[in-house]
Amino acid sequence: MNPGTAVIVNLLGGVALLLWGVRMVRTGVMRAYGDRLKNFIEHRVGNRLSAFTAGGIATAILGSGTAMTLIVAGLAAAGAINTSLGLAVLLGADVGSAIVSAVFASGTSWALWASPMLIFAGYVIHSWSAELRPHNMGRILIGLGLMLLSLTLIKQASVPLSTATLFHQVLAAVGREPFLAFIIGAVLTWMFHSSLAVILLIASFLASGSLGVEGALAFILGINLGGGLPAVSATLAQPPVARRLPLANLICRGVVAILALAFIARIAPVVQQLPFGPVETAVTFHAAFNLAVGLLFLPLTGLMAKLMERILPEAPGDRDSLARPRYLDPKAAKTPAVALANVLLETVRMTELLERMFDTALDALRSGSTEKLKQLRPMDERLNTYQTQLQAYLGDLAQEQLSPEESRRALELTLYISNLEHAGDVIQLNLADRIEAKTREQISFTPDEVASLDNLCTIIHDNLRLASGVLSSGDVEGARRLISQKDAFRELQNEVLDKHFQIGARGKGEALRRSALYVDMIRDLNRLNSLVVSAGYPIADAAGLLRGSRLRQDNP
């Protein structure tokens, strides 16, 4: 292999190792702390400044601005955050990502000894513990170690370039053409899906003397434009409300980058006067650029939100009436009866959303399409948003003077809202896994088994609709009928399982796997039905129709 080819191969290998390390860190953080990150974002978005700060902190932990953009876009699609505050989060995320890039780009001096220690410690923790968070903490440490190791490889691979006259001439020529450097930086960032990787590549050229600071600035402006493109392309198939945030962030970064490119001849002399080395000067410019974008557009997030609504409007047919709670009027808290009526309306709508989830899962089961299962997670996140906002609303209502009847009603609604959210988890975490396993392993149920599942699902469908009516009316007879459906479901379930074990559970291997999957699905349906019919218990209990215990009392 000639020296030129070796340099290219080593550079590609170093960049690939860096991208893999970034992916390991991102995967480990999301698996171990993804829910906490989402909660952190949701609970720190009271105003634009707190949202900006939360975005920066969360992205510094996650290590990926693109991943944070996709998380916030998902929250927007679930109705948990509006476009204005979501954009503030992303502006902060850009600053956090730039700070991470600066730390890694200027850390090559300690990367040589830190990377093997991190990889070894990560391997020990990852292998030693099977618990979720320690296991993924090991993954994070390995990823960090690989990222630092890749810095060393990239630096070593670029050493021969310092004596390559032709390479110096080509890179210098590109550096003297700001527009060309800008385009190359944007395209490379889009291809790598990582601004960190391209920043470190530019830093290696600066460290080896192959590229001057003046030429690097145009590259960095292009990197900032290209850094917003992966999230835009990744959300193309999502609804308009989710696509607005990545596009708004791209426009903010792109406008400032293009304006800075137009005045690059005046900016470069000022930047070159900074009392830093070439690498430190470049990464400082990168961080300062993102901070300037944030400070410029943070007061304008409301206007940007309105602009995005005009650019990406929701078509009348695309509007989802269940996208987010609509009737939680804060002013109604002064009138508890009205506030409880609002909560009741939203609880019924939450039941409709759960029914939509259930229908989607059943469509996936009948069609064998795992693509439909991907729709369940956004719906479950939407259910979580309903629960969070409804319980917060009820918490505020509890601060008012409530009558005993109003307090009892608020508690009943709180418990049922929690049950609906739990039912969504059963569908998304349990039933969806069984359906995916059935499709992946190409397992087919017998016609009798399919008919039995359909009968059980029909009962759940009927109960979902009945629960909404009982919850709204408080009808005692309806509550009695709803609760009796639990016994009817149990009787049918026992009949189905008895028949299954007598006829369909014979054999070995594939037959036993099919039987286990079938029984697990019935168990999930039973849990789901129990959570739905719980709407009738408070009404029946208030009417004195429930026994204190189902246990038989032995005669003394």
- The pLDDT of residue 508 is 55
SS in 3 state form for 63-77?
Answer: CCHHHHHHHHHHHHH
Within 159-239, residue ranges assigned H as helices are 165-175, 178-192, 195-208, 213-226, 229-234
499 lies in which domain range?
331-542
Looking up tokens 């080593």, which residue turns up? 10
Instruction: Say how many domains are in the chain.
Output: 2
Query: What is residue 78's predicted lDDT score, i.e. its pLDDT?
Result: 67
- pLDDT at position 251 is 94
Question: Is position 189 within any domain?
Answer: yes
Q: At which of 311, 341, 365 does a domain end?
A: 311
Tokens of 344: 């009741």
| Same domain as 300, residue 409 | no
Task: Please tell me whether residues 135 and 280 are part of one structural domain.
Answer: yes
Q: Do 236 and 349 have their domain in common?
A: no
**Same-domain check for residues 92 and 202:** yes
pTM higher than 0.85: no
Asked which of 311, 346, 372 is the last residue of a domain, the reply is 311
Domain boundary among 278, 311, 344: 311
Instruction: Report the pLDDT value the prediction gives residue 556, as an integer from 0 to 100.
Output: 47
The answer to the question of residue 265 being in a domain is yes
Per-residue three-class SS string for 385-431: HHHHHHHHHHHHHCCCCCCHHHHHHHHHHHHHHHHHHHHHHHHHHHH
Residues 129 and 190 in one domain: yes
303 and 341 together in one domain: no
Kindly state whether residues 490 and 381 are assigned to the same domain.
Answer: yes
Shared domain for 282 and 344, answered yes or no, is no
| Whether residues 190 and 249 fall in one domain | yes
Same domain, 355 and 497: yes
The number of C-alpha atoms within 13 Å of 514 and in the hemisphere containing its C-beta is 17
494 and 346 within one domain:
yes
| Predicted pLDDT at 399 | 76
* DSSP element (H, E) containing 244: helix 240-262
| Residue 225 included in any domain | yes
Q: How far apart are CA 279 and CA 287, in angstroms?
A: 12
Query: Is residue 62 one of the residues assigned to a domain?
Result: yes
Contact by Cβ (8 Å): 55, 220? no
Q: Is the domain of 136 the same as that of 51?
A: yes
In a domain, 303, yes or no: yes
For every one of its 556 residues, what pLDDT tens digit does the chain have, with 9 covering 90 and above?
566 677 678 777 877 887 788 788 878 877 877 777 777 776 667 788 888 988 888 888 777 777 788 888 877 876 678 888 889 999 999 999 898 888 877 765 555 677 888 889 988 988 888 787 888 888 888 988 887 787 777 767 666 655 555 555 676 677 678 888 899 889 888 887 778 778 877 887 787 777 778 888 988 999 999 988 888 888 887 778 888 999 999 999 999 999 999 999 889 889 888 888 888 888 899 999 999 999 999 999 999 999 998 888 876 545 566 767 877 877 777 788 888 888 888 888 889 999 999 999 999 888 888 888 888 888 888 888 888 888 888 888 877 778 888 888 888 888 889 999 999 999 998 999 999 888 888 888 888 888 888 888 888 888 888 888 888 777 788 888 888 877 778 887 787 777 767 665 555 556 777 788 888 888 889 889 888 888 887 887 777 776 654 545 555 4
Is residue 57 in a domain?
Answer: yes
Q: Look up the CATH number of the domain holding residue 374.
A: 1.20.58.220
Q: Residue 551: what pLDDT? A: 45
153 located within any domain: yes
325, part of any domain: no
